[in-house]
Structure 1
Amino acid sequence: MALRPMRRRMPALALATSGVLAAALVSMTGATAAPTAANEPGSTPVPISTPDGVVSSYLLNARNANPGHTKQLERAVEKAGGVVVQSWPQIGVVVAHADVSSFRADVAKAAGNKLESVGATRTVPVAEGTPSELSVSWGPGASGYKKEAKKPANGDIGSEATVATVADPRENEQWDLQMIKADQAHRITEGNRNVLVGVLDSGIDPDHPDLVANTDASESVNCTDAGRPDTSATGWHPTTSDHGTHVAGTIAAARNGVGIVGVAPNVRMASVKVVSDAGYIYPEYAVCGFVWAGQRKMDVTNNSYYVDPFQFWCGDQPDQYAAMEAVRRAVEWSTDRGVVHAAAAGNSSYDLSNKTIDTSAPNDSTPITRTLNDTCKKVPGEFDGVVTVSSVQRFPAGTMDSRLSSFSNRGLGSIDVAAPGSAILSTIVRDNGYGTKSGTSMASPHVAGVLALMKSAHPGLTPAQMIDRLRAQADDKPCGTTTAGAPCVGTDADNSYFGEGMVDALDAVS
């Protein structure tokens, strides 16, 4: 099959800002934002209050991503009365806490032209606590630093699994694996132990019988400690949510005679915990997760979430721009280091290619009704180099036919591929058991599993080549039944419901 070129979305952000708008924003707040087109109205502002005496969290982006500029931002934070929580010199990003209302303007003045942007990351005070001392740029010898992984040579930790011969007890209930031809792909390969998938989520149950063999504790981390990488023995475990455990089962539940089987049952997974006990994925958590994936030289990440507290982050708003830019840099850096990313499209029945109004954000305080524009993006799903996955349900029941799940987001040019996401059977924490969940969160891990199989069969592929192949190999899926209020547009080969079609595990390994 001939490869079709990867869809290139319009760049979400500009690395540097310019013009009267940006200058005015710096003057008012100390933060920059991406200027909108001359004929496009601005998005509705969402001022984030940072009163004196209340600890707020900020992300700062250096003009140039290098250790020198990052170190100067750290000094500027201290001069402005803040505390450096975490530095990522690889991408020129600093996480800071401050309880001074003028922190954004003060740090911008102290940093001068070394600062590209600064913004608050949430609309509520910090709940995690703040380190008592200034941290330093992470490097050899620094507290909390973990040496980057070396990619194991083929065979160092096991090779491809034996071709499947015996089904796990509940595999016959996994219609979703049949729909994407994973059952057929398993006759060729069940994945390679050299392949590592980062599950950026709420944690993986460490003793679930279907997950324990494939969860690599040495590669796991907790990023919810204000955006610092916590490598403690239990930090990456689930606490208040089994969402990540369910996702992990779909990706790589082992073929072991117990329960279910994953799309890629012989690859390894790392639990990269980015969901706090309160259920939020703040930008600094996501930055930590993506940089960690790049540092550990993971092959694939799954991202069944959007970054809080905004369903859509608008580049013409100073705070939102800075946080979005920090995450974008982390995604891009990890991609450059060989990581390919799958992400859920979202569950708002929203047309991502025609954003108008949003009533859901900020979701950590009081949501408002706001007007969106083309600078507003779902993070990380709408970044270049991220595979965005819509969800399908089995319809009619009992068949291998499908239609768009009623909750799934859509959008011509926004969706890459589709995968099953309604009533998916997978692993859960309670009683180390099994249960069904629905959402694009359940669709995305099918694609992450297929990417892991692809990497196992074709280890030399780059992330861009993997995305090209994934899209080209997807089975074309016509619009079919139209959900009320959500018209399907496009062609059989590429439409707003299913992108380039249903992901195909068999083609991925052939």
Structure 2
Amino acid sequence: MSNGDSEETQTDVLLDRQRPKPTGGLVVIFREAAETAAQIAALEAGGLRASALPIVADLTDFMAAEREVCAVLTELGVAFVPECAPARAGELIGLLSDQEAVADTRPEFYLFATAPFQDTPERTWGVAAVGAVESPFTGQGIRLAVLDSGLDLQHPDYRERRVASRSFVPEEDVDDLQGHGTHCAGTAAGRPLDSGTPRYGVAPQAELYVGKVLNNRGAGRERDILAGMAWAVGEGCQVISMSLGAPVRQGETYNTLYEREAQAALSAGSLIVAAAGNESARSNGYIAPVGMPANSPSILAVAAVDQALEVAEFSSGGINAGIDGGGAVDLAAPGVGVFSALPLPREYGSLRGTSMACPHVAGCAALWAESDPALRGRALWDSLTQSALPLSADERDLGKGLVQAPGRGGPAAA
């Protein structure tokens, strides 16, 4: 029908405008059977210099030092080509795509914090809704990583707290000037002061690991995000929270780059949780697909609900579910009027977005991981989805339902 064609075209234009701009570098995905020597030879055939890099977390530092050398990630079968002129990038895509060892070559993009919105404070309703207040567990002994825009280390709730941190953003330290990372870390594992500040952290005694993968403007290169993911896995973090992403089109498959790292994480006993995205306009009848990297089959995708436990207006849905096994929403969590920490001088405030929902799930994952040492990787994923509170909306929109903490024993209290 002509009306449907027109609407689809308008949607495509909107998504193109939302897509992050390319960094100027390239991502090369090698075939799974290709040996390291064949991978390097394929890059050299394109006139490039290449070096094998066995530790993915060192990627950011390597490419900052070796600005003209391709980094071949031997663990994942992926390479990053440094920034070059658009004409040269186009030439390289053609040259590399002809190499037998290469499965795909594409531009590298920036990913972004998933656009939170200011809202009226509804302070700790989210912590209550997921049952964290009633749970006997606090996340003690569990390593929980938040990969975002960093953390305000001078915030009174973190100044005396031991926080492991590392910045993957060149020329920026881990301190959060943007605010997104501090808010998300607070929801996942914030520990309020004793002066009457309401509890806003789901797992307040988890061991907090902060990886700065988004810069002070809230944008991050894929290479830095991937390095942060590898760092968190290497540090033994049982839970990794990622409130970041980029839109995808209807019918678009997941990104192999993130799926390979997520599979490695699950095998190592780490669960990666990511925000589904905020691109929907449901009151206008538009539901956006789950964005990347949350659309990867091995990353747990989180949608947002409001205080009535209804799907949030902006929350992306699983309209690409089943395409090559990815694209689905797995769980839902509070994502409207979420109270948490913000960088000084604001100190606290409420935001909304699937960015705010994601750390609720990460916090609950830490509680489940504390409850049973066997709950790691895929087993932890299964416990979260099997214990979720079913909601009235379709599974396409809210997955298995509202995430629940272990041992709460009752319906969610909003």
TM range (shorter): 0.7 to 0.9
Q: How does 1:94-113 map to 2 (within 5 A)?
A: 94-97=79-82, 98-99=84-85, 100-101=88-89, 102-108=91-97, 112-113=99-100
Structure 2 partner of 1:334: 265
Deviation larger for 243-252 or 201-210: 201-210
| Change in 2 beyond 3 A, CA 1:302/1:284 | same
Alpha-carbon distance in structure 2 between the residues aligned to 1:466 and 1:403: 25
Residue equivalent to 1:467: 381
* Structure 2 counterpart of 1:196: 143
**Could you give the per-residue CA deviations for residues 131-179 of structure 1, whole angstroms, max 9, x where no partner exists?**
xxxxxxxxxxxxxxxxxxxxxxxxxxxxxxxxxxxxxxxxx94121111
The Cα shift of 1:507 comes to 3.8
Q: Secondary structure at the match of 2:126?
A: helix
Instruction: Answer yes or no: is the 8 Å Cα contact 1:215–1:271 preserved in 2.
Output: no
2:90 aligned with 1:115, yes or no? no
TM alignment of 1:98-497, pairs within 5 A: 98-99=84-85, 100-101=88-89, 102-108=91-97, 112-122=99-109, 173-185=123-135, 188-193=136-141, 195-214=142-161, 216-217=163-164, 220-225=165-170, 235-239=173-177, 241-254=178-191, 256-258=193-195, 259-261=197-199, 262-307=201-246, 310-312=247-249, 324-349=255-280, 378-395=291-308, 402-411=309-318, 414-431=328-345, 433-479=347-393, 489=394, 495-497=395-397
Q: Partners of 2:159 and 2:263 in 1: how far apart?
A: 31
Matched residue of 2:340: which SS? strand
In structure 1, what is the Cα distance between the partners aligned to 2:249 and 2:212?
22
Any stretches of 5+ residues in structure 2 without a counterpart? 1-11, 17-21, 51-66, 111-121, 322-327
Contact 1:73–1:94 (8 Å) recurs in 2: no
How far residue 76 of structure 1 moved from its aligned partner, in angstroms, is 4.5
Q: CA deviation at 1:418?
A: 1.4
| Contact 1:67 1:90 (8 Å CA) reproduced | no
Return the alpha-carbon distance in structure 2 between the equivalents of residues 378 and 121 of structure 1.
Answer: 16
Q: Which residue matches 2:324? A: none
Structure 2 counterpart SS, 1:381: coil
Measured against aligned partners, the alpha-carbon deviations of 1:30-53 in whole angstroms (never above 9, x if no partner) come to: xxxxxxxxxxxxx9998xxxxxxx
Tell me the alpha carbon deviations over residues 303-356 of structure 1, each in whole angstroms, 9 at most, x when there is no partner: 11214xx4449758xxxx8xx2222222222222111011112112268xx999
Distance (whole Å) between structure 1 residues aligned to residue 273 and residue 307 of structure 2: 22
| Secondary structure of the structure 2 residue equivalent to 1:409 | coil
Structure 1: where are the runs of 5+ without partners?
A: 1-42, 47-53, 124-171, 359-375, 396-401, 480-488, 490-494
Separation in 1 of the partners of 2:194 and 2:42? Answer: 54
Please say if residues 389 and 417 of structure 1, whose CA atoms lie closer than 8 Å, have aligned partners that are also in contact. yes
Name the Cα RMSD after superposition. 3.4
- On the 8 A contact 1:470/1:508 being kept in 2, the answer is no
Q: Give the 3 Å change call, closer, same or farther, for CA 348–80 of structure 1 in structure 2.
A: same
| Number of residue-to-residue matches in the alignment | 351
1:431 is displaced (CA, Å) by 1.8
Offset at 1:85? 5.1
Q: Which residue number in structure 1 is paired with residue 75 of structure 2?
A: 90
Query: What is the CA-CA distance between 1:255 and the residue it aligns to?
Result: 5.1
CA distance in structure 2 between the aligned counterparts of 1:70 and 1:299, rounded to whole angstroms: 31
Hey, what's the Cα distance between the residues in 2 that align with 1:411 and 1:55? 28
How far does residue 121 in structure 1 lie from its aligned partner after superposition?
1.5
Q: Which amino acid aligns with 1:442?
A: M
Change in 2 beyond 3 A, CA 1:453/1:68: farther
Question: What is the DSSP-based 3-state SS (H/G/I as helix, E as strand, rest coil) of the residue aligned with 1:285?
Answer: helix
Q: Is the 2:367–2:406 contact (alpha carbons within 8 Å) kept by the matching residues of 1?
A: no
Deviation at 1:471, TM superposition (A): 1.1
SS at structure 1 position matched to 2:100: helix
**8 Å CA contact 1:74, 1:84 repeated in 2:** no
C-alpha distance 276-460 of structure 1, shift in aligned 2 (>3 A) = same
